[in-house]
Amino acid sequence: MNLFDTIRNTLVPIHKEGYVFVAIFFVVSLILGWIAEPLFWIGLVVTLWCAYFFRDPERVVPQDDDLVLSPADGRVSSVQMVVPPAELNLGTEPMLRISVFMNVFDCHINRSPVRGQVTEIQYRAGQFINAELDKASEDNERNSMVIETRHGRIGVVQIAGLVARRIICWVKPTEPVNAGERFGLIRFGSRLDVLLPPGAQPRVSVGQRTYGGETVIAEFGSTKGPTISRRS
């Protein structure tokens, strides 16, 4: 492997959604540099952060329909039983909800946690409070998706955060999705909720780091109970 191949394999590609933002940040940096040279370097650092924010790395996706994968890079902020949002039409019985919070340094590409067919997508306007707060699931702007799977209907909710101002979803109702497939992103800093029907056992704990499309957050068909973790 030559030096060019090493550099190419090390650098993470930028998603096309980020090109315009990187260009804008760089142009602003040039303008600031014309005013005062130190401002150019500050702007350049922000431009590099923008490119880093929109990175889109490849992932090695487990091929097992009994596994539920993390929909995003981030930190597990909640694992609990809750009544699903009314717009998902998933009933009024509590479902297992696993929430993944993304800060502004996490990769914000969202990936489908399971394989199946999208049956519903519902957008709801709302507030922009801290996405780590539990009430963000009800109060914040969000985009909700239902996926029909062999284990039942699964909800995936994109929730805007404190500084997020745009939720993007690329899939539409009736479209099939594969586990780990990219389906959207949120700018900048946000959270994803995955709502699971009976039979799902959590495989992550609050505070755990996850990687979209790779980390197993829940499992169907297992006789084992929830995973117990401890810090060490």
DSSP classification of residue 227: P
Please give the Cα distance from 106 to 185 (Å, whole number): 11
* Token pair for 36: 């005062």
Residue 127: per-residue pLDDT = 67
Told to judge if 190 belongs to the known catalytic residues of this protein, a careful annotator would answer: yes
Please give the Cα distance from 199 to 186 (Å, whole number): 30
Please tell me which residue in 29, 99, 144, 190 is annotated as part of the active site.
190
* Token pair for 7: 């550099």
Residue 7: per-residue pLDDT = 45
Residue 103: per-residue pLDDT = 85
* Token pair for 121: 């997508």
pTM listed for this prediction: 0.82
* Token pair for 5: 């191949």
Residue 132: per-residue pLDDT = 62
Mark 58-69 as b/e (b = at least 16 C-beta within 10 Å): ebebeeeebbbb
What average pLDDT values come out for the chain (232 residues) when binned by 10 residues?
A: 50 69 80 81 80 79 94 93 90 94 86 95 76 65 92 92 73 93 82 93 94 94 75 71
Residue 137: per-residue pLDDT = 66
- Mapping DSSP onto H, E and C, the string for 35-85 reads HCHHHHHHHHHHHHHHHHHCECCCCCCCCCCCEEECCCCEEEEEEEEECCC
